[in-house]
Every structure is written in C-alpha cells, then in structure tokens.
Structure 1
C-alpha cells in the first residue's frame, strides 16, 4: 500500500468533514453526527484486511488527532475531538488501536476541557471523559513516530489555513474583569496622588502629570481598533481567495478583490527581491572552493593595486622530486674522497702499543 498517498487522501477527507462542521457555527455533537452520516465517514475502514487493519487505523487516528491540538480554533478542536471519538469506535481492528498523544500536548487537552466546561459545552466534555474512561489514549514521548529518512516537509492546504484560530491575545488580556480591576487600581492611585500633592499647587500639578488620564478607555479603544483591523484583513483575504477561485487567477475587474490581489503582488515582489539579493550576495562565494577563497582575495587585491604579478611556477610532482634527489645523492658519492676505515686505525694503535711493551720488557731484562 502507498501510505504517503493514503495519508494525503485521509487528510483531505478529514478537512472536508471539518470544513462542513465549521460552516455550521456550532460545537454540538448532534450536528457533527449528522455531517458524519451524510458523508458516510464510517466506511473509511472498509476494504482493509489482515494486518492492514491496525496499520490503517493508526494512520487515520494520527491524522485526525492533529486537528485536536493547537493552533486550530476552538470549534475545529472540538470537531477534531468528535472525529477521533467516532473513528476510535468505528475502527475494525481488534483490539482497538489507541489514540497517540504526546505528554507535552496533554496540558493543551486539559485546557480545552476547561474551556469547554466554562462555556457549558457539556457534550464535548462528555466525549472527552468517555475516551478517558475506556483508556483510548496512548501516551507517547513524541507526537509522531520517528523514522529513518522521514520527510520533514510540512503538510498544508488551503482549508488547513482557515482552521487556524485568530490571534486573540489582546482581547484575552484585557477582558471585562481585567478592565474593571485596572479602573479600580487607577482610581485608587489617582486619589493617593491627590492626597500627597494637596499641599502645594505646583506639587499637585507636577505630580499629576505622571498620571495618564482615561487610561482604561484608551486601552479599550486600542483593543477594538486591533479587532477591527484583524477582521478587515481576514475579509480581504477571503475575498481575494474567492476572486482567484472564480477567475482562475486571471485579471478580474472587481474593486474589492483588487486590494487583496495588490497585497499578494507586493508580497511576491518583495520575496523575489530578497531572493535575488541573496543570490547576488552568495553567488560569488559558491563559485570557488572554501580552501581557495583566500587565494582569490589576494588576486583581487593585486588586480586593484597594480599590474598583475607573475604566476607562480607549477608544483613539481613527487616522482620528479624523488628522481632529482636520487641523482644528487649519486653525484655526491662519486665526488667524495676515499673514506678512512675506522678498524684500520684500531689495528695500527694496537701494533704501536705492543711494540712499546716489548721494548720495556727488553730493558728490564738487560738491567737484571
């Protein structure tokens, strides 16, 4: 079986199901179940036999659990929870294949349960606790299995980008409770400054300059402005995508799609400009070898300073150097004088010593 192609097909089917679920603007399980039955998604396991059942079930669950984790929106994550719940109970493998969840991702699962419980989405909480009760989760060290020579290319699609939640950090940071608490603290600080600076008018004026008036209203206005800007950018992107789909990439005359197309054109031009700058910057370095870059620099400096210096002589090969050394040694041997042998000197010294010893012996015998 071609598992790479199966992975792409399963991913496209899951995204189609979640896209239909996203259009309903609901997180109810009965709505998801209706779409599930309309698409006959439970038949995805039909046709697998033998050992292929467990392998295919593991592949399908690994693809589906990715939509259960961030950075997708709350609705898509709840849809991913319903998807893995339905796939887990519809698989044909026996015993059932577990849902692989990394330990580092379990905090995200608990935060999703907390958000669903706080928003009173009890069907999502019930589905998650049902999976926990039947021990459907299989905790792993990594989100995906590590394989030798596995491709690291990130899978993505047009629908996958629409599933990602918008950045709501400013809205979450400055919610209603936080704004009320900030207003109370600001009023208390303002009263304390008035009590301290009540003695002199100059001190009151210099001290009150440190307080920014209407800080709560200004922060609220900044958050609202950011929210409007974010919504407008999202609408412009959607209109540009729709125009590209309708016109097949051609030049349409709509005014609304012109802004989105111009933004895309500017970004593509900037990308091409950056790539051309990088190619010009690193093009010269890639032409020469690393070990000879310093030689290239010296030649460039010489060209700039004056006339080019004469080229260095080619390096003599090892064979030529060896023959030259051998010839030199042979010539020295011929020109060298006769060598005095050391053992002959030793014999002469011995003879002299023996002659002196005989003379001494003869003198002693004559005296006697």
Structure 2
C-alpha cells in the first residue's frame, strides 16, 4: 500500500471527531435562538475553533482542509432547520477563512444541491436576514465554491466503505408541509376562485329548475385555514413536550 493511500486513510479517521466538534458548536449556536453572524462569531472565538487546523504537517494541510469543509458542508442543506443551516453557512465561511492550505481549498458544492442553496438564500432575503445574504455573497466573491458533480471526490479504489454519519435529530426541522402548502397566497387564490364559483352558481340557480342543489360550502376556506392552524398548534405542543 502506498504512503499516499496510508495518509488518506489516516486523515479519514478524523472525520467523525471533526463532525462531533461541528455539531457541538452548532448546538451552542442553536441555544441562542439567533441567526446573527455576530452571535456565531462569539461562540467560534470562545471555542478557539480556528485551532482545528493546527498540528497538521505541510503535506496534510490540503487534504485535512478538504475533510473539514466536507464535514461542515452537510449542515448547509436540508433536512436541517433554517437556523442550523445558517450556522452551517457561517461555519463554512469561518473554516474557509481560517484554513492553513495555500491557496485555500474550495468548498465543493454539488450541482444537485444548488437549488437548495438558492431557495435558502431566497428565504433569508424574504425574512431580511442580511447577515446570511452578506456571507453568501462574500463566499461567491472570493470564489470559495467549487461546483462539482458530487459533494466529495470520487476515487477508483477505497480503503473501506464510507459510512454515512447519523444526522443529529435536534438539528432536523420538524415537518411543516401543511403550513408550506396552505399559505396566505394560496388561501387568497382559493377565496377568489370560491367567490367566482359562487357567482356562477348563483347565475345557474336563477335559470335552473333545480335551484336547491348545494354546490358550494361557504365555510371551506375558513375551515381549511383553521385545520392548518390546529395542526401547527398541536405540533408546537408536541415539540415543547419533547423538550
């Protein structure tokens, strides 16, 4: 076995501890209930997290930087909550700036994940989280992203099968599909359609012999909204009980 392959195998041994360190930092950020970079930066400095790059010899700097960035990359994507994804973005930015490899190792961004990042940026813009927008644009200006077919490099031979790390359950966003599907815009559109249908029904009833046929539920839109709100309240109570 070549020395290069041995070193690659030794570097991989650090993946699990690095992921644990990232999760610990993000768990502290999660407790602040904030998405400000200033708050994240304070935790980063208190943990001396930039020291994670110290101790690597010259020929290991690039491969170790790649491993650390790959480990942090997953926190930028679903199914993690918005706050954890913000923390993941700040983590990638801080790691990119702190690495000792020269020129700096880029952040591999798989093309399949680009839509997730664009939607994440749009959500941040809609909520006016300007720290997130600024950090994303800084990474682009610095050409920190390397767009690739896969998030990690593919090799012809592997020392062993790579195990997928278990996702931290506390970071995963609770299911919110009903709230996402039944939003204000949809309710307004349904109301307009409902009113139009009511007008057409009234015109039919005036000319139809059987005008007693009930073609409309007047409480359809309010009941739909009420059902979604009841689900959201139940979900919130369940979350509070789990904590």
**Which residue does 1:215 correspond to in 2?**
220
| Bigger Cα Rg | 1
2:12–2:67 contact (8 Å) kept in structure 1: no
Which of 10, 23, 47 aligns to 1:39? It is: 47
Q: Structure 1 length as normaliser, TM-score?
A: 0.60
**Which residue does 1:186 correspond to in 2?**
194
Which of 233, 238, 242 aligns to 1:237? It is: 242
Which of 161, 169, 190 aligns to 1:151? It is: 161
Q: Secondary structure at the match of 2:147?
A: strand
**Which residue does 1:161 correspond to in 2?**
169
**Which residue does 1:205 correspond to in 2?**
212
Which of 68, 73, 77 aligns to 2:85? It is: 77
Q: How does 1:226-305 map to 2 (within 5 A)?
A: 226-238=231-243
Which of 63, 86, 109 aligns to 1:55? It is: 63
Pair 1:128–1:77, CA change in 2 (3 A): same
**Which residue does 2:108 correspond to in 1?**
100
Q: CA RMSD in A?
A: 1.7
**Which residue does 2:13 correspond to in 1?**
5
Q: Distance in 1 between matches of 2:126 and 2:86?
A: 14
Q: Distance in 2 between matches of 1:170 and 1:59?
A: 37
Per the TM alignment, residue 152 of structure 1 is displaced from its structure 2 partner at its CA by 4.5
Runs of 5+ unmatched residues, structure 2:
1-6
Q: Structure 2 length as normaliser, TM-score?
A: 0.90
Q: How many residues align?
A: 233
Pair 1:50–1:152, CA change in 2 (3 A): closer
2:37–2:90 contact (8 Å) kept in structure 1: yes
Q: Distance in 1 between matches of 2:147 and 2:162?
A: 23
**Which residue does 2:3 correspond to in 1?**
none
Per the TM alignment, residue 145 of structure 1 is displaced from its structure 2 partner at its CA by 2.4
